[in-house]
Amino acid sequence: MAEEMRILMRNYGKIDPLNIDDYISAGGYKGLEKARAMSQKDLMAEVQKSGLRGRGGAGFNAGMKWSFSYNTPSDQKYVVCNADEGEPGTYKDRLIMENDPQSVLEGMAVCGYAIGSNKGYIYCRGEYPYVVEKLNTAIEQAKAKGVLGDFDIEVRMGAGAYVCGEESALIESIEGHRGEPRFKPPFPPVTGLWGKPTIVNNVETFANIPLILEKGADWFAGIGAKSYPGTKLMTLTGDVVNCTFIEVPTDTTIRQVIFDFGGGIAGGKKFKAVQIGGTSGGFIPESLLDTAIDFDSMAAIGATLGSGAVFVMDESRDMVDVINQITKFFEHESCGKCSPCREGTKRMHEMVKNIYSGRGTAADLDLLNRLGTVMSKACLCGLGQAAPSPVLTTLQHFKTDYTAKFN
């Protein structure tokens, strides 16, 4: 395997994650100390200058997001860590929380200081009860040590809904309501949890913060792709030799991820396709493998970096079979609040199922294309907007898999 660049995972296997003294000995909480010696404005400017963009999927500049909450006067503000990690094939946030939980707490406390918040929540997926235990231990230790100051952190558990990873549905869920997305604007940094300014950032985003402060914005900005600097944790699954996680600079290409780090295709077979970013990611053919994994390069080829999940498929895979499973997933996970998604995901799965079972026609492919395009524009939240992307990209790059099903 090629050599990784471990920034986020610098403590992996080196410290006892449940011993805060180990974290502190390894340089932990120096970033927070440095942050508190800065003015809130200078701190946000430093984070903004580092170029750190969200690692949860939308790729928004973290420092800029924080400044929106800072600039909104309120008696209470919140910091929320999105640890819902509902994307199939993704386990990078679990890795961080299990192996270096204090780095997440430190990143959240820095954000709290920056925006003027004394309350943080970690919204962790319900399927990770053992992670919740570890987080609670880490929080207790941080409180006992007094490193968080007056910043309090609580863990809230999700109950298995994919849509609750969407930030406004997540906020609804923490408030005790049914997990459904809100109409935006207003966006959470201005009107979030209980109507108060709220920063929602992903686990990996927060975990990047301590080292950015310790080593400086310029250091971070110099790593990887210029427009999306730093490293990215990727989780490799499917027909690849090394089904594992890797941390690589963001200018690494997809080909390097699969072949240099992933060890290539398992069983001596040939590559067919890769889906990056989770279930809603676009499918990428061989001809586009030299694209860098950074957010903008991926967007330029109609794909996404998303959560960083890498699902590799060999030549034996039938794309219609894969898409049949994916559209079933979205039909099941649509919360039903808006009709383009509620109806669209259902009809989309229906059509794909028909094609898969040999009852489809060429007209279905046109209709799928039209439906997908409408959904990507008309759905209320990212779930329905992105759900058509696997369908649209396989129609674009692997159309013969569909036409081969026609009788």
Which residues make up the interface to ligand FMN (CB under 6 A)? 54-58, 60, 82, 84-87, 162-163, 165-167, 200-202, 205, 381-383
C-alpha 246/C-alpha 2 separation (Å) is 10
State the DSSP string of 155-176: EEE--S-GGGGSHHHHHHHHTT
Shortest spacing between CB 333 and ligand FMN, in angstroms: 8
Shortest spacing between CB 27 and ligand FMN, in angstroms: 23
Shortest spacing between CB 85 and ligand FMN, in angstroms: 5
Shortest spacing between CB 239 and ligand FMN, in angstroms: 25
Shortest spacing between CB 116 and ligand FMN, in angstroms: 19
List the structure tokens of 231.
């490293």
Shortest spacing between CB 290 and ligand FMN, in angstroms: 26
Q: Which is nearer to ligand FMN, 20 or 111 (CB)?
A: 111
List the structure tokens of 113.
């200081």
Residue 239 CB coordination number (10 Å): 24
List the structure tokens of 29.
């909480």
Shortest spacing between CB 175 and ligand FMN, in angstroms: 16
List the structure tokens of 217.
């914005």
DSSP H or E segment with residue 229: strand 228-229
What is the side-by-side order of every strand in the sheet holding 245-249?
245-249, 231-238, 309-314, 271-276, 283-284
CA-based Rg of the chain, rounded to a whole angstrom?
A: 21
C-alpha 289/C-alpha 245 separation (Å) is 19
Q: Which is nearer to ligand FMN, 17 or 308 (CB)?
A: 308
**Residue that the structure tokens 């968080």 belong to:** 148
Q: Which is nearer to ligand FMN, 163 or 273 (CB)?
A: 163
Pairing of strands 283-284, 245-249: unpaired
Q: Which is nearer to ligand FMN, 55 or 182 (CB)?
A: 55
DSSP H or E segment with residue 54: none
Which CB contacts under 8 angstroms, 24+ apart, belong to 155-160? 155/121, 155/122, 155/124, 156/121, 156/122, 156/123, 156/124, 157/123, 157/124, 157/125, 157/126, 157/129, 157/132, 158/84, 158/86, 158/123, 158/124, 158/125, 158/126, 159/126, 160/125, 160/126, 160/127
Shortest spacing between CB 54 and ligand FMN, in angstroms: 2
Q: Which is nearer to ligand FMN, 126 or 382 (CB)?
A: 382
Answer whether 291's CB lies under 8 Å from 297's CB. Answer: yes
Q: Which is nearer to ligand FMN, 56 or 249 (CB)?
A: 56
Q: Which is nearer to ligand FMN, 52 or 368 (CB)?
A: 52
32 CB-contact burial (10 Å; exposed 0-12 / middle 13-18 / buried 19+): buried
Shortest spacing between CB 133 and ligand FMN, in angstroms: 20
Q: Which is nearer to ligand FMN, 19 or 61 (CB)?
A: 61
Q: Which is nearer to ligand FMN, 202 or 324 (CB)?
A: 202
